[in-house]
Structure 1
Amino acid sequence: MARTDEPPDRRAPTIKDVALLAEVGIKTVSRVLNDEPGVRPETRDRVLKAVESLGYRRNTIASSIRRRDRRTASIGLVVEDLANPFASSVTRAIQDYAAARSHLVLVGSSDGDPARERTLVQEFGSRLVDGLVIVPSGADQSYLEYERAHGVPVVFVDRPGKRFKADAVVSENAEGTAAAVRHLAARGHERIAFLGDRQSVYTAAQRLAGFKSAMEALHGGADKRYIRTGLRDPRQARDAAVEVFGLDPAPTALVCGNNLAAIGAVHALQELGVRDRVACIAFDDVELADLLRPSLTVIAQDTAALGATAARLLFERLDEPGAPFRRTTVPVRLVPRESGEIPASA
């Protein structure tokens, strides 16, 4: 009597199973899956029907080892924090560009930790990704020489790497904060504060430089008492804003170096009861910024262009490994709303 309590066969179907069902050789199945010429249409149809019937899935890594170009149709993406709206928007743009070219994107967050960044790169390398797009952290990306030596191109996005030459895509960071200062100065502001991230971060340093340069040109220099940097989250930014606006005399306007600083600053201004009297401009758009009262003026980055350009450079690098390295700068734009129109006399 046959047993009925045996567990079902959960073994994943193999290319041999496909060949048996389609009544062809394994080589023929491989040629169909790789879309190679020389297979009769009726044979190709039988193989594809067998693949669908069995639910067969290719082992991409194993297939790439057998292919001459060793491609896996996948790329690795390292961002600082995927939960940050900036990072998620850039990621989506890269994914869309890659998907249009039948490539999968593997994504990991480094949390701004150089060791974590390196671990993610090693993990992606072990999965034989075709290339890497990285938002770099720390002061040394020379470890990427290993990846390049093994045929894996690298593109940096948002900021260039350090001690390692590669293609890079960045925003007009300094010009963005300079435009914010000019906009506020045109409304009579001279005492303008700045809240920013760690100055070891390329984008943060560039934005502070643009702020200082514009303040120098318009008002003979920035007041150091009104500048706070090293702010990594909204809570730190909120505390810094409370401290700055407790000074006498207090600033009449504020430039925030990123969206996290802006979130903290808005909370602080609300707590202090001065949101309708202090002008504020933030770098990076913030979700629902147009619904705040007053609505938030921002320096908007073109995240879609940043991501798509980084992806395009990577695919071009795959086609031409020896081409000169390029740095592409993506323009930013000031989006005027109510908070940036508050005059100094408010």
Structure 2
Amino acid sequence: MNDVARLAGVSLKSVSRVVNGERHVSAPLAARVRNAVDTLGYRPDLHASTLRRTDRRSATIGLLLEDVGNPFSAALHRAVEDVAREHDVHVLIGSIDGSPRREGELARAFTMRRADGLIIVPAGPDQSYLAGEIRADTPVVFVDRPGHGIPADTVLATNALGAADATRHLIAHGHRRIACLGDHVRIATAQRRRDGFTSALRAAGIAPEVSLLLPGLHTAAAAEEAVLALFRRPDPPTALFTSQNMVTVGAVRALHRLGLHRRVALVGFDDFPLADLLDPGVSVVAQDPATMGRTAAEALFRRIEGEGGPPTEFWISTRLIARGSGELPPPARGSSRVG
């Protein structure tokens, strides 16, 4: 910065004001400083500036998502980023990919870079490794899934209620043999959605069939293969509840391959792009990732700014969107049109 100041013929304080984007700097002075910065190839040392700040903040937060390529994660990310921008804070982001080890690696990487707080979609069963960060006043907020082992604010969707709504919708349209295709049951959201599915069946006097509960489907490809296998059976279901958006995509592909997309009812959990443009449109229980992301970010910034008190759970409602696939009736008794 001293070199920049000498080349521009200004004070060190003026360089600092321009580099840090402060207002009330004259345009000619700012232009001279920027020309000197470009000439010398100067780049600010953010770690050094953090050490000089009295609050020791880095103006960054970490966001650990399941998969940044997933539409749900992308919407969550955008909402967090919008709130961070309001606070003049940047977002460091990474994909956990369902790996507890990766979760820990990313959390350590971000805290080593002095992130002011973390928002995490947890993959592992225990987040007590973050206890030291909590003691060091680095707040953590969990979103989409609950964390374990440390006290932290948590933002969750009404997963069990949403799954029960989807199941009741299929039952109301005459279905009794409904398959549930889900993610790994070790994932809290997958377990809660399965619980909502089975509780709605029991409430309607329908005993859940173990053979129609298909967990462990984490990708669209795995779901597609599972549905193809399901309809090779002599007694396939008349409806599907798919409890994750990539599972829904795989199931829709399989039904199209089999020519059953207008004959087998389907309700998915999580919306996805272009679901309304398919034939028929895909009925879904939609989460609100934008509200979840904004709620998580606002909670995190309140903690960063010193809010105390016990952890809070924030529940974000889901809603059923009927588009056609979930309203298909079962085949007439004796008909062989499904199978």
Q: TM-score, normalised by structure 1?
A: 0.88
Aligned equivalent of 1:140: 126
Percent identical residues:
45
Give the counterpart of 2:65 among 47, 63, 79: 79
CA contact (8 A) 2:5 2:33 kept: no
Aligned residue pairs, count: 328
C-alpha distance in structure 2 between counterparts of 1:149 and 1:272, whole Å: 56
Give the counterpart of 1:201 among 154, 163, 187: 187
Give the counterpart of 2:36 among 30, 35, 54: 54
CA change 1:36–1:103 in 2 (3 A) is closer
CA contact (8 A) 1:254 1:279 kept: yes
Code of the residue aligned with 1:126 in structure 2: it is M
Give the counterpart of 1:176 among 162, 181, 185: 162
Aligned equivalent of 1:153: 139
CA change 1:219–1:101 in 2 (3 A) is same
Deviation digits for residues 267-316 of structure 1 (CA, Å, limit 9, x no counterpart): 22222222111100011112211111111101111111011111111101
CA contact (8 A) 2:8 2:36 kept: no
CA contact (8 A) 2:240 2:264 kept: yes
Bigger CA drift: 132-141 or 142-151? 142-151
Aligned equivalent of 1:289: 275
Aligned equivalent of 1:91: 77
Deviation digits for residues 217-265 of structure 1 (CA, Å, limit 9, x no counterpart): 0133312221100111122212222233333432111100101111111
Deviation digits for residues 174-207 of structure 1 (CA, Å, limit 9, x no counterpart): 1111000111111111111100011110110110
Code of the residue aligned with 2:172 in structure 1: it is A
| Alpha-carbon offset, residue 33 of structure 1 | 5.7
Mapped pair 1:69 → 2:55? yes
| Alpha-carbon offset, residue 23 of structure 1 | 4.5
Deviation digits for residues 63-104 of structure 1 (CA, Å, limit 9, x no counterpart): 111111011111111111111111111111111111122111
Q: Which runs of 5+ in 1 are unaligned?
A: 1-14
Q: Which runs of 5+ in 2 are unaligned?
A: 333-339
CA change 1:314–1:232 in 2 (3 A) is same
Code of the residue aligned with 1:309 in structure 2: it is T
Aligned equivalent of 2:249: 263
CA contact (8 A) 2:223 2:247 kept: yes
CA contact (8 A) 1:140 1:161 kept: yes
Aligned equivalent of 1:106: 92
C-alpha distance in structure 1 between counterparts of 2:153 and 2:210, whole Å: 35
RMSD: 2.1
CA contact (8 A) 2:118 2:140 kept: yes
CA change 1:33–1:52 in 2 (3 A) is closer
Matches within 5 A, 1:1-346: 15-21=1-7, 23-27=9-13, 29-30=15-16, 48-55=30-37, 57-345=43-331
CA change 1:274–1:166 in 2 (3 A) is same
SS in 1 for 2:155: strand
| Alpha-carbon offset, residue 28 of structure 1 | 5.8
CA contact (8 A) 1:19 1:47 kept: no
Code of the residue aligned with 1:229 in structure 2: it is P
